């Protein structure tokens, strides 16, 4: 259960409602497992630590927590969630490479598409460093190299083209496009208002998200 409020007083009011409901219905909250997080401005220093109580017990303030599998941080950056996905991809890739080393290439590609292309909640990634993004891309490339028995120095672009598998950038663009499509067709009035504001920050961020930047090639 997650409570969201634009102010500390609003959060305290929501907690009182929860306490009253629990008392009326014979329920109880585990205050030791409950935490709160304060979203900070991008360039604002951390100078305020509010006191939040649940059933008379002070709650622990944290800088990040995992909600529905997605790591949320106080700065709303996505580097921690990308690292979570990179590690999970590494574990899945190593397992597949070991257990299915003797399978045919087609079987390996089917497993790769099923277990290594999900990138859970990647369509929410908006605020991240190029270092985190590149680390995840390299891990994705290395997993397919390991499964196919390719050397680490082989061309990733040629490898994906040869086996007709989407590369990392294609996966990211498809996930972002799918997210936009679902919001545009949503019946939720708030989401619809955001979706059709083409000059708003939502579209500007998505248009710039997951764009591959490379130095121009020089031909001699």
**pLDDT score recorded for residue 216:** 40
Instruction: Decide if 55 is inside a domain.
Output: yes
Which residue in 162, 132, 131 sits closest to 145, CA to CA?
162
What does the alpha-carbon distance between residue 81 and residue 95 come to, in Å, rounded to a whole number?
21
The sign of the CA dihedral 97, 100, 102, 107 is negative
**pLDDT score recorded for residue 100:** 96
Count: domains in the chain: 2
Instruction: Decide if 204 is inside a domain.
Output: no
Look at the block and give the residue holding tokens 């390719």: 150
Q: 100 and 159, same structural domain?
A: yes
**pLDDT score recorded for residue 84:** 95
- pTM of the shown model: 0.81
Q: 57 and 27, same structural domain?
A: yes
**Where is 60: in which H helix or E strand?**
strand 60-61
Instruction: Decide if 154 is inside a domain.
Output: yes
Instruction: Decide if 199 is inside a domain.
Output: no
Q: Where are the beta strands (DSSP E) in 139-187?
A: none
Q: 46 and 100, same structural domain?
A: no
Find the domain containing 55 and state its range.
8-62
Would you write out the chain's pLDDT as a tens digit for each of its 220 residues?
899 999 999 999 999 999 999 999 999 888 888 999 998 876 766 677 889 999 889 999 999 999 999 999 998 899 999 999 999 999 999 999 999 999 999 999 999 999 999 998 888 888 889 999 999 999 999 999 999 999 988 999 999 999 999 999 999 888 888 888 888 888 888 887 777 776 766 677 677 665 554 444 343 3
Q: 143 and 87, same structural domain?
A: yes
Contact status, residue 184 vs residue 196, Cβ threshold 8 Å: yes
**pLDDT score recorded for residue 46:** 66
């Amino acid at each position: 259960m997650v409570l969201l409020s634009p102010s500390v007083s609003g959060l305290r009011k929501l907690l009182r409602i929860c306490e009253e409901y629990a008392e009326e219905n014979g329920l109880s909250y585990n205050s030791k497992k409950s935490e709160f997080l304060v979203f900070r401005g991008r360039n604002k220093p951390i100078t305020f630590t509010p006191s939040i109580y649940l059933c008379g017990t002070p709650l622990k303030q944290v800088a990040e927590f995992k909600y529905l599998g997605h790591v949320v941080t106080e700065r709303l950056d996505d580097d921690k969630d990308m690292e979570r996905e990179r590690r999970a991809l590494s574990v899945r890739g190593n397992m597949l490479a070991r257990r299915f080393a003797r399978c045919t290439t087609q079987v390996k590609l089917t497993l790769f598409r099923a277990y290594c292309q999900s990138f859970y909640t990647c369509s929410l990634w908006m605020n991240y460093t190029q270092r985190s993004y590149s680390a995840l891309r390299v891990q994705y490339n290395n997993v397919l190299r390991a499964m196919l028995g390719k050397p680490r120095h082989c061309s990733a672009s040629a490898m994906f083209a040869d086996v007709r598998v989407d590369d990392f950038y294609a996966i990211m663009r498809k996930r972002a496009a799918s997210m936009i499509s679902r919001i545009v067709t949503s019946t939720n009035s708030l989401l619809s208002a955001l979706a059709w504001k083409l000059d708003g920050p939502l579209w500007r961020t998505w248009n710039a998200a997951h764009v591959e930047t490379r130095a121009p090639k020089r031909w001699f």
